[in-house]
């Protein structure tokens, strides 16, 4: 039975239930041209499925899972850190980081539209006790001079600024990239005040590919960084929280506190190893397809797509000039076989990923233009 008020997206033609959507009403086309809702909908590759079946495993809560340890070592090397911790999700990775960095009542400074503030159920405050101080950003970037002015030493009346959080790529800024120079300047500001930086690097591999730079050039100066495996890297599960050995030891304790101690986790870690070893370079294909989509829409309707904002695998479409809401447009698109996600009242997000081909993008463009 489908619960009342719940709409399910179906995987045509087999009509396999894929995921529930209850934030907005949608009437589905009988056939899907392209599913741009998120890069989280990617399916495991055949290599990942075989690796899951053949993985060497053990009880990770006791003697440790050998495949999980290899994945953690690989992630630590990728990001330029001493150690890493395999977590259930990006949300858990961020939450565990806050719990390990902060004491309840301490302040976190972050860009106003950060993912952990908007989409992670308030866990930073409800569980870790963080007090957020937000700064407006331009394409995901806080002004660093303003950031320096806002840092507080703390007093009887004011919380101490204990952590700075950055997001790369930035989701609500349309996959915008924080480049190497910006990250170095951010690290310098933080170091001047003796404050650690945590990077929500859910899509930091996208940023590195877009810049043609090693991931560690964007992450090594952070006290901690979370890398998500289940977005464009196509793994079905998990994220890695990376940092120094002492920090990761604390984080491992905090992961247990929130129920993240999983037993034979090597089955999922095996997919993560393939994600890091085989799926990073192919992100460039997703970026090309996003550009193809953006240029196809911009050519006919330049007022709704800003080409300068398309840096990685996301395209934001502004429905303001159309006089309709993002949810209404997504509903109309879905009825014609193109799936996208309303992010704000006036912003529709299209995300390219391994399961959307260039041919599907080319087929979707005229359908989207027809609806517009």
Sequence ranges of the domains in the chain: 7-31+282-371, 46-278
DSSP string, 10-31: EETTTTEEEEEE-SS-----SS
Q: Could you give the dihedral angle defined by the CA atoms of residues 212, 214, 216 and 222, in that order, rounded to the nearest 10 degrees?
A: 0
Looking at domain 7-31+282-371, which of 3.40.640.10, 1.10.3860.10, 3.40.50.920, 3.90.1150.10 is its CATH number? 3.90.1150.10
pLDDT, one tens digit for every residue, the chain (372 residues)? 444 444 334 333 333 333 344 444 456 666 899 999 999 999 999 999 999 999 999 998 888 999 999 999 999 999 999 999 999 999 999 999 999 999 999 999 999 999 999 999 999 999 999 999 999 999 999 999 999 999 999 999 999 999 999 999 999 999 999 999 999 999 999 999 999 999 999 999 999 999 999 999 999 999 999 999 999 999 999 999 999 999 999 999 999 999 999 999 999 999 999 999 999 999 999 999 999 999 999 999 999 999 999 999 999 999 999 999 999 999 999 999 999 999 999 999 999 999 999 999 999 999 999 999
Task: Give the distance from CA 332 to its chain's centroid.
Answer: 26
- Architecture of the CATH domain 46-278: 3-Layer(aba) Sandwich (3.40)
**pTM of the full predicted structure?**
0.91
Say yes or no: do domains 7-31+282-371 and 46-278 share a fold: no
In sequence order, the 6+-apart residues with CB closer than 8 A to the CB of 211 are 177, 179, 180, 218
Q: How far apart are CA 174 and CA 140, in angstroms?
A: 9
Q: What are phi and psi of 265, to 5 degrees?
A: -75, -5
Q: How far apart are CA 317 and CA 184, in angstroms?
A: 31
């Amino acid at each position: 039975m489908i619960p009342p008020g719940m709409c399910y997206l179906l995987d045509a033609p087999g009509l396999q239930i894929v995921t529930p959507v209850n934030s907005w009403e949608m009437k589905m086309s009988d056939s899907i041209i392209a599913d741009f809702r998120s890069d989280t909908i990617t399916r495991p590759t055949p290599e990942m499925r075989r690796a899951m079946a053949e993985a060497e495993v053990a009880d990770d809560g006791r003697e440790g899972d050998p495949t999980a340890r290899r994945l953690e070592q690989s992630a630590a090397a990728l990001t330029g850190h001493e150690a890493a911790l395999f977590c259930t999700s990006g949300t858990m990775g961020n939450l565990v980081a806050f719990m390990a960095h902060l004491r309840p009542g301490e302040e976190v400074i972050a860009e106003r539209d950060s993912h952990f503030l908007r989409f992670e159920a308030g866990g930073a405050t409800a569980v870790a006790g963080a007090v957020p101080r937000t700064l407006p950003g331009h394409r995901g970037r806080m002004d660093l001079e303003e950031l320096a002015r806002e840092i507080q030493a703390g007093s009887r009346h004011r919380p101490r600024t204990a952590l700075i959080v950055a997001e790369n790529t930035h989701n609500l800024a349309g996959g915008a990239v924080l480049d190497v120079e910006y990250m170095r300047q951010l690290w310098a500001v933080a170091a001047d005040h003796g404050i650690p930086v945590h990077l929500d690097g859910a899509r930091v591999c996208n940023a590195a590919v877009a810049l043609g730079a090693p991931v560690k050039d964007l992450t090594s100066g952070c006290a901690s960084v979370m890398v998500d495996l289940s977005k464009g890297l196509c793994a079905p599960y998990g994220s890695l929280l990376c940092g120094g050995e002492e920090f990761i030891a604390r984080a491992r304790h905090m992961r247990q506190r929130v129920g993240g101690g999983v037993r034979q986790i090597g089955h999922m870690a095996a997919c993560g190893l393939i994600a890091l070893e085989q799926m990073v370079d192919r992100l460039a294909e997703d970026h090309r397809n996003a550009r193809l989509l953006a240029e196809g829409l911009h050519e006919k309707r330049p007022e709704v797509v800003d080409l300068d904002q398309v840096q990685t695998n996301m395209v934001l479409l502004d429905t303001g000039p159309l006089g309709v809401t993002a949810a209404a447009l997504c509903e109309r698109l879905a009825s014609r076989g193109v799936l996208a996600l309303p992010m704000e009242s006036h912003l529709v997000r299209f995300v390219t990923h391994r399961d959307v081909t260039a041919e599907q993008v080319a087929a979707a463009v005229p359908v989207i233009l027809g609806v517009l």
